Amino acid sequence: MMKVIFKNLEKSDLIREIAAERVQKALEKYAIVDPLSSTVILSREHSREHSGLDEYSVKLMVGARGHKPVIVEKRATTLTNALATVLDRAMDLLHQSFARERLGVRNERRRWKTYQRWKNSFATWNEG
């Protein structure tokens, strides 16, 4: 199970389960991501100097094999909005990271095929 940490917020099993379930469901799309190495930090920030609504922040740290860890932190007036925003941004970052890897492999294959065609063209040229 992934870590869910509460800061300046009353611990709740319901909130812990909801946060873990949403993050787990979002990370299932990526086989490289290890959900056990993921951490969610939920916090409430309240200033006595400023009146108004409390602000909640969610920080998500996701580890992936062979990649740098993705760390995203967002704030919102409700905890669910902050969690949704964090997950959306984290999925974008993970997708970009894995897309770069896919493009690198694809370009490497193209270079190899081009080299093979070039090498074969010389072989046919020498025969003729």
* Residue 10: CATH number of its domain: 3.30.160.100
The C-alpha atoms of residue 4 and residue 69 are separated, in whole angstroms, by 17
Question: What letter does residue 69 receive in the DSSP assignment?
Answer: P
- Mean pLDDT, range 19-41, rounded to an integer: 85
What pLDDT does 40 receive? 94
Task: Calculate the average pLDDT of the chain.
Answer: 83
Check whether 125 has a pLDDT greater than 60: yes
What pLDDT does 31 receive? 73
pTM value > 0.75: no
Q: Which domain holds residue 67?
A: 3-127
Instruction: Give 60's contacts (C-beta < 8 A, 6+ positions apart).
Output: 23, 38, 39, 40, 41, 70, 71, 72, 73, 86, 87, 90
Check whether 87 has a pLDDT greater than 90: yes
- Total domain count for the chain? 1
- Mean pLDDT, range 84-100, rounded to an integer: 86
The C-alpha atoms of residue 19 and residue 83 are separated, in whole angstroms, by 7
- Mean pLDDT, range 9-38, rounded to an integer: 86
What pLDDT does 47 receive? 63
